[in-house]
Amino acid sequence: MRPHLIFWISALVRIVLILAGAGLCGHFWGAKLGFALAALGMLALVIMQLQYLLSLSDWLENPSSTRLPDGWGAWTEIFSRLYKLRREDEKNQAELAEWLARFRQAMTLLPDGVVIMDDVMFLEWCNPIAEHHLGLDLKRDKGMRVTNLVRTPEFIDYIILGRYDTPLTLTFRERKLIVHIIPFENRRQILVTHDVTESERIDMMRRDFIANASHELRTPLTVINGFLEIASMQTDENVSIMSSHLKLMVEQGQRMQRLVEDMLTLSRLESAEFQVRSETIDMQMMLKHIVQEAQALSAGKHQIALDFSGPNIQGSSDEIRSAISNLVTNAVRYTPEGGSITVAWHAGEKGPKLSVQDTGIGISSEHISRLTERFYRVDKSRSRETQGTGLGLAIVKHVLLRHNAQLVIESTPGVGSKFCVQFPVSRLIES
């Protein structure tokens, strides 16, 4: 039965009993006594209810699942329901505490640092790796603003700007960290730190090795190639027997030389210390030269046009020349005889844009996203035939990255390809 119904019935029964008793007394011993007894009975009833209310209020002050006030009638039902609720609450809290303990233990096992902050960046919790990465001490620093604990200008700027979609690379206490901030419920934030010191060191060793190896190979190769070229030009009878072999050796030697040159260029571009130069680039002159070189490479087999109307830009002239030259050379190499190539340079709302369009063999879509990887070729034999090193587009990617430009490739097999480079407005020359 519902508690309020029990309550009503038991209250009515009591009132009726009191009134009936008082009525009987009034009937035998006079109306005055009857009224007095009725009033006393009602008063006793009110005092009893008040007593229950007081016990309930005491219990609510200090709820315990073991000790509950005694009740009668509807109060028994109310107290037993409260008891059940209290037991469930205690069970839920125990489960929550256990879950939280397990969650924190899992967080301590993570290889990355995790910091939980409130909406105003006050430290709520962090795991031991975060303590190690950021020099925090949870017991000491809890409740303090994280920007007061990690006091580096890059970190503070990153927090102030609040552009958390790109991670921050932070050099802190001789470690290189990648820092992500992820907002979550109640405007709290999770900060994740990933230590890349070791992988950067290995990467640096790899880069140094390639740069050194290429450098060491360059001089002996130049000497060998020089002698081979001279020998292959001899008209002497003995030498001419070997001339076909020598020609092959010259070709392979030159290929190795191109490879070494491209490897050196790439390692120079990758080097963090090597900052991009900012000089004014005369785009018209540069593109004219590149188109002339392409015409020499094509030897009249293609129609090569320049469509020029854009502005000059700032950047490294050598790097931009090598990137554009790679794109135009590729267009010549991957376009069969009779095809056409257009190099266009125009101003645009998003900044100046270069495009190199050909009517060549094209590339199927599954290869496009991988073309800028080192040594990735759609067709290995064709790339070698056309004297490719497999590093051209990797060089293009690095140069563009250093100039904050973007490469977009559109291509249809059998129809042709279009390589577009979007430069940012910041590359324009300020007038």
Which residues sit at the interface with ligand ADP, rule CB under 6 A?
Answer: 326, 330-331, 334, 358, 360-361, 363, 371, 376-379, 383, 388-394, 417
Q: How far apart are CA 415 and CA 327, in angstroms?
A: 17
What would the DSSP string read from start to end of 132-161? HHHT--HHHHTTSBHHHHS--HHHHHHHHH
Q: Considering the complex, state which of residue 260 and residue 331 has its C-beta at the smaller distance from ligand ADP.
A: 331
Burial 51-76 (b: 16+ CB within 10 A, else e): ebeebbeebeeeeeeeebbebebbbe
In the bound complex, what is the minimum distance in angstroms from residue 175's beta carbon to ligand ADP? Answer: 35
Cα 250 from chain centroid (whole Å): 48
* Diameter over CA atoms, the chain: 158
Q: Considering the complex, state which of residue 333 and residue 353 has its C-beta at the smaller distance from ligand ADP.
A: 333
**Selection from 251, 258, 252, 273 nearest residue 214 by Cα:** 258
In the bound complex, what is the minimum distance in angstroms from residue 401's beta carbon to ligand ADP? Answer: 15
What would the DSSP string read from start to end of 249-262? HHHHHHHHHHHHHH
In the bound complex, what is the minimum distance in angstroms from residue 254's beta carbon to ligand ADP? Answer: 14
In the bound complex, what is the minimum distance in angstroms from residue 378's beta carbon to ligand ADP? Answer: 3
Q: What φ, ψ does residue 174 adopt, rounded to 5°? A: 60, 20
Looking up tokens 């007095």 gives 36
Q: Considering the complex, state which of residue 22 and residue 394 has its C-beta at the smaller distance from ligand ADP.
A: 394
**Tokens in use for 194?**
């990933």
In the bound complex, what is the minimum distance in angstroms from residue 330's beta carbon to ligand ADP? Answer: 3
Amino acid identity, position 267: S
Q: Considering the complex, state which of residue 115 and residue 378 has its C-beta at the smaller distance from ligand ADP.
A: 378
Q: Considering the complex, state which of residue 402 and residue 427 has its C-beta at the smaller distance from ligand ADP.
A: 402
Q: Considering the complex, state which of residue 11 and residue 368 has its C-beta at the smaller distance from ligand ADP.
A: 368
Q: For the chain, first and last CA: distance in Å? A: 87
**Tokens in use for 230?**
């001279």
Could you tell me which residues come within 8 angstroms of residue 363 by beta carbon, excluding any fewer than 6 positions away? Answer: 371, 378, 409, 411, 413, 417
In the bound complex, what is the minimum distance in angstroms from residue 270's beta carbon to ligand ADP? Answer: 15
Q: Considering the complex, state which of residue 253 and residue 392 has its C-beta at the smaller distance from ligand ADP.
A: 392
**Selection from 128, 387, 106, 383 nearest residue 254 by Cα:** 387
Q: Considering the complex, state which of residue 394 and residue 405 has its C-beta at the smaller distance from ligand ADP.
A: 394
Could you tell me which residues come within 8 angstroms of residue 303 by beta carbon, excluding any fewer than 6 positions away? Answer: 339, 340, 341
Q: Considering the complex, state which of residue 141 and residue 319 has its C-beta at the smaller distance from ligand ADP.
A: 319
Looking up tokens 């096992």 gives 109
In the bound complex, what is the minimum distance in angstroms from residue 353's beta carbon to ligand ADP? Answer: 17
Q: Considering the complex, state which of residue 131 and residue 379 has its C-beta at the smaller distance from ligand ADP.
A: 379
Strands (E), 270-333: 279-281, 303-308, 313-315
Cα 309 from chain centroid (whole Å): 38
**Tokens in use for 305?**
């046009």
In the bound complex, what is the minimum distance in angstroms from residue 405's beta carbon to ligand ADP? Answer: 17
In the bound complex, what is the minimum distance in angstroms from residue 267's beta carbon to ligand ADP? Answer: 16
In the bound complex, what is the minimum distance in angstroms from residue 315's beta carbon to ligand ADP? Answer: 21
CB atoms within 10 A of CB 293: 15
